[in-house]
Chain A
Amino acid sequence: MAEVLPREVLICTIARLLDGVRHVAVGASSPIPAAGAMLLRAMKEAGGAVGPRISILGSVEHNFFTNGSAELFDCAGQGRIDAFFLGGGQIDGFGNVNLVGAGDYPRSSVRWPGSFGSAYLYFVVPRVILFREEHTPRVFVEKVDFISAPGVSPEGVFRSGGPVALLTGKGLFRFDKTRPGFELESVHPGHDLAEIKQATGFRFEHDAAPQQTALPDRATLDLLRGRVFDELAETYPEFAAQMRRDLGTVDA
């Protein structure tokens, strides 16, 4: 078994989380989620099945919309987008996401770009995957300073979508909207529970000895390192080149 890069573990985990979707949308400058979606498509097609449709915002190659930047949101509102990714300057234990800034709004001490489409998409896309590589207490906080998009909504508020999982550079969490809260599902190779607890500002459920995140098999790795990185290079040339450079140092 060849060595697997940490980012390859993330990409393969995303492909697993997306299994079954018909249409996945990926934000601009999100190469890892895009690679995960492309990997799922490649795996489906290798098995003779139909892969998911992938919309990458800001990409010419992967943008089949003809009605301007409103169409993605209209499409989501119509129920035509099954999965989407959200990051966040802060994410808390209730699944609330803050993309606006740290400190007292509006004069945030640190201002992030803004909420983008999160305040809508989080409500109407059934399978939202929270993805943030940096796993530190400043990102994963007890309570966000500003709610761009809430993890759950009260009874009676229209809500066909929301978070299902949180993937970080250290592990994978599932979101339980009934509590609400996160449960640690698996730990990536090279990390452990104690380290994740220390790096997470909110409380989460976990097994006494959580399992390790599943690693890809040879066939999946071959697809990833071949077809998927080729496809990825069209939209994210620097990221694809970096991945291939990193691979050159581990894979004889």
Chain B
Amino acid sequence: MVLSEPRAMAKHIEPGMRVALPVDYAGVSMAMTRPIIEHGAGDLDLVCVPTGGLQVDQLVGAGLVRTVETSAVSLGEAGGAPRFNAAVKDGAVRLKDATCPAIHAGLMAAQKGSPFMPLRGLIGTDLLRHRDDWRVIDNPLADGGDPIVLIPAIKPDVTIFHVPIADRFGNVWIGRRRELAAMAYASRTVLVTVERIVEESLLADEMSAAGVLPALYVTAVARAPKGAWPYGLWGEYPADSAEIARYAKAARTTDGFSAYMAQAQMEPA
């Protein structure tokens, strides 16, 4: 693990990479959004685990995104994701519409080093009809006539998230947000921003160790206080819904989006 800072971490992202990002309440590294945009590596294939919001909308608005694999993209109470919705209408991003458990299943397959994971449901949906990477087979363990969908392993190049604590050994505390571990297991590179870095190993105490993603899976850690803002961070601070609403309004137009991104800075700590 390397102790880093957000700008340096963004350099891990290369054009055409597959990048996994967490759902808005799990710990989104908003602190990485601007460094990623400044770094400018484009043609990204985003994987939203299992849905996307502000960060996805901003990366799409900045023109860095080629495909979005997701179960949904929205700004929650603040409404639809304006730059994402505009890009969908213009055909500027390719969609791989999914359903939440299919994203989890794909990561689970990668976690186990398996080529795919079978999943119930999906048969008869237009999601399945539009996904040429998903396959339907006859359950080989039944007597026949039991179709089931296979979801291929999702192996992101990079996973990026934000959590409260890392220790100086690179262990990060993900608490009960186990999807962050699933993303990390499946990814080659894992970039984590944290509220604070502690001296003592998080593995020293069994209570904290149970919620730790060990340094084995972590490529780099950077300190970024309020790094999920304007999203909230579990156990730390609530979402700033006024700021998310301000973005939603501004980003209705490309000019409004550019102005917002040029001007809005991190909330003073």
Interface of A with B (CB < 8 Å)?
28-29, 58, 60, 65-71, 73-74, 77, 99-101, 105-109, 111-124, 146-150, 153-154, 156-158
Contacts and interface: CB of A to CB of B under 8 A. Distances in A.
Nearest to A108: B88
Q: Which of A65, A71, A114, A154 has the most CB of B within 10 A?
A: A114
Interface string B24-65: 011000000000000000000000011100000000000000
B130 interface: yes
- Nearest 7 CB-CB pairings of A with B: A114-B72, A68-B178, A119-B99, A68-B179, A120-B121, A113-B74, A73-B101
Contact of A115 (B76, B97, B124): B97
A31 to B, nearest CB: 11
Given A154-B124, A157-B147, A116 B100 contact: yes
B121 A116 contact: no
A28 B239 CA distance: 14
Contacts of B171: none
Interface string B214-255: 000000000000000000001000000000000000000000
B23 interface: yes
Nearest to A76: B101
Interface of B: 23, 25-26, 49-51, 70-74, 76-77, 80-81, 84-85, 88-91, 94-95, 97-102, 104, 108, 119-128, 130, 145-148, 176-182, 234
A68 B99 CA distance: 16
A144 B90 CA distance: 22
29 contacts: A60-B234, A66-B178, A68-B178, A68-B179, A68-B182, A69-B104, A70-B108, A71-B178, A74-B101, A100-B97, A105-B126, A106-B91, A106-B97, A108-B89, A111-B80, A113-B73, A114-B51, A114-B72, A115-B97, A115-B99, A116-B50, A116-B72, A117-B101, A119-B122, A123-B121, A124-B121, A150-B125, A153-B124, A158-B120
A149 B124 CA distance: 8
A30 to B, nearest CB: 12
Contact of B176 (A65, A106, A111): A65
B179 A107 contact: no
A111 B89 CA distance: 8
Q: With a 10 A CB-CB cut-off, give which of A73, A112, A146 has the most chain B CB atoms.
A: A73
Contacts of A121: 121
Contact of A157 (B74, B76, B123, B178): B123
A78 B26 CA distance: 24
Given A67-B176, A111-B80, A158-B146, A147 B99 contact: no
Nearest to A67: B178
A116 B102 CA distance: 10
Contact of A156 (B94, B121, B147): B147
